Chain A
Amino acid sequence: MTQYLLQIALAGIAQGSLFALTALGLVMIYNASSVVNFAHGAMGMAATYVAYLLITKWQAPFALAFAGALVAAFVLGVVVQTLFLARLRHAPLMSQVVVTLGLFMLLEGLLGLAFGYNPRPMSESIAIKPVILGNLVLRPQDVLELALLLVLGLALAALFAATKVGLGMRAITENPYAAQLMGIPVGRVLAIAWGVGVMLSAVVAILAAPMTSVTPNMMDTIVVYGFVAAIVGGFGSMAGALAGGLILGVVVNMIDAFVAPELAMSIVFGLLLVVLYVKPDGLFGRVQVQKV
């Protein structure tokens, strides 16, 4: 029994890394531009179609297709920020949320028009062997998800700690007006934050594609769990988003194994309400004090 539990928890952590990466992207965009990006999953999905086309139409090797999708994701993020959200920088919060929801519908609709809603298969990306830890097994996709979370987590930490762009993002989170006065090119830094954030979503979508298939709504479930992970983590803390995602992965896998997979999201939202009752700023969030 213990071994069964541990095995489920391990698979949960691996699946949770997808939620964590989604939440990291959401929080990164939120911290820089104070926008909750409801089009996050759809933008990652759109980039996945680039990889899909490169692989099926032009027989590109996986690594090239992956890189192509990441470039597309970065460009999409930059375009959305500079073309749409930069114009709404001083508009009410409502307008910013509404425009990302509109983009979500637009992207899903356009890709549905172009490719239809029939799921298109995407084969396993990289051939790796399962890893055996004692009497626990890590499936190849688990290994890949955990490895990418580790690599990207470290890369993000390095970005924020050691690069000018990362420092700029932190300064903008702290105080956008002062950041501008200090000579930080706010527009450019925001565009990069959006680009990198959407790249994270694309990574998740491509990792998930062998399981979900490539469809316009492939990211809908994952991105909702990403929102939950970000809220649990305090919506603003990168470490919180990471922890929230991993915990949520374990919870979802436990529900799938012991309760009912078809009720997973309902139960998760029930738990989220309880968390919000008890700790309104999430499990890892700082208490927010609004300045007037």
Chain B
Amino acid sequence: MNGAVVRSAAIALVVLCAALPILLQAIGERQVYWLFVVSEFYVFAIVAISLDLLMGRSGQISLGQSGFVALGAYTTAILNQRFGVDLVVGMLAGASVAGLASLVLGLPATRLRGHYLGIVTLGFGIAVDQIALKWDSLTGGDQGIHLHRPVALGLDVGTPVRMYYVALVALVVAVLLVWSLTQTRIGRAFAAIKDSEIAAAAMGVPVARTKVLAFIVSAFLAGAAGGIYAFLAGFVAPEDFGIDSSLLFFAMVVIGGMGSIPGAIGGAVVVDAIRTTAATVSGLSLAILGGMIVLVVLFFPGGLKGWLRARARRTAHAHAPKAVVTQDA
């Protein structure tokens, strides 16, 4: 597929998403419920894109992505509850705090062998959870924090429809941001490091600095998603951000196919659907997702994205005129 086709498909998809509230009203479906479900999905998709930037582009693993989401959500919620901070300011503050935390974590871990970052981020995710529960004078402990009605740039966005558009805009901005980053020198440096750190270093890429940078950008995006989530739910509590949700984000990236924005979004669709439908039976979604991850790694290394692309190629091949083939031979 060439760039123009992808671009027009993406624009069509965004237009369709923008029309969703009107469509839901026309059909008479439970508009508020479905708007919340889809808005929440947009937030998850932002986190999936952030994690894909780290895992798929720069070849590092984070098992504590929900820790950054939690930092963003709590920062936003605390600022909003105490000082009535605006949605955009709160989100940026939350994203910055998450980015700063990643700097502290990343400085030692990214200098080291590959799996250390996985283990350190795993511990980080657990620690954020524990501290949020324990430090109840700041976070409200297990009671959580309720936010004020959200205002974005002076505009009241406290209705489901308006919050839906906030989440949609945030997702589109995140996609554009990550996509443009991959088109720059920095994006190529990420790819070089993913292929071979030694070769990248030999080509003059500052390996440690670039790895930390990927980690910071990823945490910043996850923190921003957390800020939006806080306003969307209107409430923040520790149980939203455990290891389980870190594993969900991890599953989204792997199943969707690493190193691709459409892959991350597609993975988020699949995983979110499985999570919601299998939620009533404990262990079911974990088993399905775990099994899918194993199968993907063993048989479909490109994930959903790679599988679809291979299928498209095969059907194109099957429909190709036979005469051309024989002429070639």
A212 to B198, CA, bound (A): 44
Q: Which of A248-284 contact B (CB under 8 A)?
A: 260, 262-263, 265-266, 268-270, 272-273, 276-277, 280
Q: In whole Å, how far is B151's beta carbon from the nearest beta carbon of chain A? A: 34
A92 to B109, CA, bound (A): 19
Asked if residues A265 and B134 are in contact (CB atoms below 8 Å), the reply is: no
Q: In whole Å, how far is B11's beta carbon from the nearest beta carbon of chain A? A: 33
A269 to B293, CA, bound (A): 28
A113-B284, A262-B133 are known contacts; what are 13 more A-B pairs with Cβ within 8 Å? A38-B118, A94-B55, A102-B291, A105-B287, A105-B290, A105-B293, A106-B287, A108-B283, A108-B286, A108-B287, A113-B283, A266-B126, A266-B130
Asked if residues A110 and B283 are in contact (CB atoms below 8 Å), the reply is: yes
Asked if residues B294 and A102 are in contact (CB atoms below 8 Å), the reply is: yes
Give chain B's interface residues, CB within 8 Å of chain A. Answer: 55, 59, 61, 63, 104-105, 107-109, 111-116, 118-120, 122-124, 126-127, 130-131, 133-134, 198, 243, 247, 250-251, 254, 258, 281-294, 296-298, 301
A95 to B297, CA, bound (A): 6
Asked if residues B59 and A94 are in contact (CB atoms below 8 Å), the reply is: yes
Closest to B294 in A: A102
Given A98-B254, A227-B119, A262-B133, A269 contacting B290 (CB threshold 8 A):
no
Given A235-B113, A272-B123, A292-B198, A106 contacting B291 (CB threshold 8 A):
yes
Asked if residues B290 and A103 are in contact (CB atoms below 8 Å), the reply is: yes
Q: In whole Å, how far is A45's beta carbon from the nearest beta carbon of chain B? A: 13
Asked if residues A113 and B287 are in contact (CB atoms below 8 Å), the reply is: yes
Chain A's interface size range is 35 or more
Asked if residues A109 and B288 are in contact (CB atoms below 8 Å), the reply is: yes
Asked if residues A273 and B290 are in contact (CB atoms below 8 Å), the reply is: no
Asked if residues A112 and B123 are in contact (CB atoms below 8 Å), the reply is: no
> What secondary structure prevails in chain B residues at the interface with A?
helix
Asked if residues A112 and B120 are in contact (CB atoms below 8 Å), the reply is: no
Instruction: Give the contacting residue for B289; candidates A36, A91, A105, A224; CB below 8 A.
Output: A105
Q: In whole Å, how far is A289's beta carbon from the nearest beta carbon of chain B? A: 12
Q: In whole Å, how far is A19's beta carbon from the nearest beta carbon of chain B? A: 14
Does A160 count as interface, using CB distance less than 8 angstroms? Answer: no
Instruction: Give the contacting residue for B298; candidates A87, A110, A277; CB below 8 A.
Output: A87
Q: In whole Å, how far is B111's beta carbon from the nearest beta carbon of chain A? A: 6
A269 to B108, CA, bound (A): 12
Instruction: List the 8 closest A-B pairs by CB distance, nearest first.
Output: A112-B283, A109-B287, A105-B290, A102-B293, A106-B290, A109-B286, A269-B123, A266-B127
Asked if residues B61 and A97 are in contact (CB atoms below 8 Å), the reply is: yes
Does A101 count as interface, using CB distance less than 8 angstroms? Answer: yes
Asked if residues A263 and B254 are in contact (CB atoms below 8 Å), the reply is: no
Give chain A's interface residues, CB within 8 Å of chain B. Answer: 36, 38, 84, 87-88, 91-95, 97-99, 101-113, 116-117, 216, 220, 224, 227-228, 231, 235, 260, 262-263, 265-266, 268-270, 272-273, 276-277, 280, 288, 290, 292
A98 to B301, CA, bound (A): 11
Q: Can you sample 23 A-B contacts with CB below 8 Å? A: A38-B118, A84-B298, A87-B298, A95-B301, A98-B254, A101-B250, A102-B296, A102-B297, A106-B286, A106-B287, A108-B286, A108-B287, A109-B286, A109-B287, A109-B288, A109-B291, A220-B243, A224-B119, A235-B113, A269-B126, A272-B120, A280-B112, A288-B113
Given A84-B294, A99-B298, A105-B293, A266 contacting B286 (CB threshold 8 A):
no
Contacts of B282 in A (CB 8 A): 112-113, 116-117
A276 to B126, CA, bound (A): 18
Asked if residues A273 and B108 are in contact (CB atoms below 8 Å), the reply is: yes
Closest to A105 in B: B290
Contacts of B289 in A (CB 8 A): 105, 109
Asked if residues B115 and A36 are in contact (CB atoms below 8 Å), the reply is: yes
Closest to A104 in B: B290
> What secondary structure prevails in chain A residues at the interface with B?
helix
Instruction: Give the contacting residue for B297; candidates A98, A109, A111, A227; CB below 8 A.
Output: A98
Q: In whole Å, how far is B248's beta carbon from the nearest beta carbon of chain A? A: 10
Asked if residues B250 and A266 are in contact (CB atoms below 8 Å), the reply is: no
Contacts of B116 in A (CB 8 A): 231, 235, 276
Q: In whole Å, how far is A192's beta carbon from the nearest beta carbon of chain B? A: 22
A112 to B287, CA, bound (A): 9
Contacts of B133 in A (CB 8 A): 262
A149 to B49, CA, bound (A): 44
Asked if residues B130 and A99 are in contact (CB atoms below 8 Å), the reply is: no
Asked if residues B109 and A110 are in contact (CB atoms below 8 Å), the reply is: no
A224 to B290, CA, bound (A): 19
Asked if residues B284 and A273 are in contact (CB atoms below 8 Å), the reply is: no
Contacts of A216 in B (CB 8 A): 283
Contacts of A273 in B (CB 8 A): 104-105, 108, 120
Contacts of B258 in A (CB 8 A): 94
A273 to B59, CA, bound (A): 21
Contacts of A104 in B (CB 8 A): 290
A116 to B282, CA, bound (A): 7
Asked if residues B287 and A88 are in contact (CB atoms below 8 Å), the reply is: no
Closest to A38 in B: B118
Asked if residues A276 and B298 are in contact (CB atoms below 8 Å), the reply is: no
Instruction: Give the contacting residue for A109; candidates B63, B114, B285; CB below 8 A.
Output: B285
